Chains A and B, each alone.
Chain A
Amino acid sequence: MGRFLAPALLAGALCVAGAARAETLVLSVSQPQVLITSNFTGADLVLFGVVEDRPPGEHRYDFAVTVRGPQETFVTWRKSRVFGLYVNTDSRTFVDSPAVLAVATNRPAGEIADAAVLRREQIGLSRNIFLQRVGSDFADVVADDPFRLAFLRIKTADGLYVEEPNGVSLLAPSVFRTSFHLPASAPVGTYEVTVKLFEDGQMRAEASTVVTVRKDGYGQQLATFSEEHGWLYGLAVAFGALAVGFCANMLLRRD
């Protein structure tokens, strides 16, 4: 409903610019559901999008695609030297941060809009909001906080956080295509894909879709069984272990 109300309320302001802003985004993802089987080594997803309801005239659209994986809580530790040993002396807790974060734009974000807009719309790794637990409070800190930088650096090195300034290709001014690689170590859960449409440095439309990543096959059955029947699963593994030990001993005995 907001989609219909918002333009109505803003009508007065928009008249100044002289154009009705009614663009909508239609998205299509190649694989809405990724199944992790025993030979899973990652997946490549392709996302297509079309701008519908374009106001007449020439347009130069910009697209920012953000994929956010399941939220988890991470602790970033810093080691320092204490009595000759390097030990964890300081830490920051990042609450509900995406396990996977991929950002792609059709040109470097800095050229799409100014810093304030980009920050508000959370375009780019460094502008994504990461909540830290500060005492009993939660807040994001300045972008060059060493713990925040280290968090982004390590996540990027692990291939879980990716930023591609030219990762979105325009097939036509209003049609785009982008792809992102889901690493094999990506956790299961719901991945939210958000596309923001910009023109003249302003956001015009936003749309999102989800990709579900789940385990399949015997791995999925095993994981479910271990979650639901921990004791039975433990007993089964222990019994299996003893059976393997016994068989190995019998097969390989030479006396």
Chain B
Amino acid sequence: MTIYLPIAEIPVAIFTIFAMGLAVGFISGMFGVGGGFLMTPLLIFTGVPAAVAVASVSAHMAASSFSGALSYLRKGLIDLPLSGFLLAGGLTGTAAGVGAFALLRLWGQVDLVIGVAYVVLLTGVGGLMLVESLRFILRAWGGKKTSVRRPGTHGWFLRLPLKVRFRRSRIYVSVIPILAIGLGIGFLGALLGIGGGFLLVPALIYLLRVPTQMSVGTSLVMTLVTMTAATILHAAFNGTVDAVLALILMLGGTVGAQFGARAGQRLKAEYLRLLLALLVLAVGLRVGYDLARPPADPFAITQRGA
């Protein structure tokens, strides 16, 4: 069964899109990642114009992260003051990222920069997480009593001035690194068209030593606010939000996210980290493979102004 998308101006198979929303929603709920880094390429692959895909996915991510965030909120697994500081940096970073995107488009190399940035970020972050979680799991299997010590470094940046106590996360750190992380995620998110959850969750775990479950919940709040803002801005300035496409994605995504969130809470934290590491690494390698492999057709057509 196909349905015609009024803004994208193409017909799509409704159940394919729904299934994609379901699968990505599951992953998003499980790991607290927005899933944009999976959903957007999938949609483009089915023929949706890139600009419409990015904009409509942000609406889908707003719905899916709201549904996930409510579950975490009920369990007390969201650190609201922490997400407030992250958002202060994040929204500033988003504005800077939108500006950088416009500059790159002027130079005509936006695709390359996005591709390389994806590869570097995803393989880098994924590789680090993989090594860390494997070491942790192997140590546990070895019978050695692992301490309750949280993973990550006790960085000098946590001892900068302006220290604040975040009760929920049981950390007492300077707000400067928090604002910087928010700024960085917001910048990359706007530039790469992603929510940034897959970067924020590890950043919270490894840099700020926030407990895994709390990082997931807190990052959902960040995704929720930035993606809601992105939906409104895309609709107002680019006219690329397809409400019908977004609705199909949402219906699949929110249902998937519910089951994902439940599965995530049942899994042991170290296995959750291992799975996320493998997923992030796989997407990074896939993007890298596409960049390095000789293309099937060296030519491609894009439409100006779309």
Contacts and interface: CB of A to CB of B under 8 A. Distances in A.
Partners in one complex: yes
Contacts of A223: 6-7
Which of B235, B250, B251: most chain A Cβ within 10 A?
B235
Interface stretch (A13-21, A52-60, A103-111, A246-254): A246-254
B231 A237 contact: yes
A151 B301 contact: yes
A2 interface: no
Which of A150, A241, A252: most chain B Cβ within 10 A?
A241
Interface string A185-205: 101100000000000000000
Interface stretch (B58-66, B79-87, B181-189, B194-202): B58-66
B32 to A, nearest CB: 14
A70 to B, nearest CB: 11
A146 B234 CA distance: 36
Contacts of B70: 245-246, 249
Interface stretch (A73-81, A118-126, A174-182): A73-81
Interface string B217-258: 000000000001001111111010101101100110011011
A76 B241 contact: no
Interface stretch (A23-31, A37-45, A134-142): A37-45
B11 interface: yes
A173 interface: no
A147 interface: yes
B298 A80 contact: yes
Contacts of A235: 232
Interface in B1-26: 2-4, 6-7, 9-11
Contacts of A115: none
A184 B13 CA distance: 12
B161 interface: no
B258 A77 contact: no
Contacts of A249: 66-67, 70-71, 254, 258
A77 B4 contact: no
B interface, over-half SS? helix
A255 B74 contact: yes
Interface residues of A, number: 63
B305 A73 contact: yes
B237 A185 contact: no
12 contacts: A38-B244, A79-B295, A86-B293, A88-B108, A88-B111, A219-B4, A234-B241, A238-B231, A245-B67, A248-B254, A249-B66, A253-B71
Interface of B: 2-4, 6-7, 9-11, 47, 59-60, 62-67, 70-71, 74, 108-109, 111-112, 115-116, 228, 231-237, 239, 241, 243-244, 246-247, 250-251, 254-255, 257-258, 262, 291-295, 297-305
Interface of A: 36-41, 72-81, 84-88, 91, 93, 146-147, 150-151, 153-155, 184-185, 187-188, 215, 218-220, 222-223, 226-227, 230-231, 233-238, 240-242, 244-249, 252-255
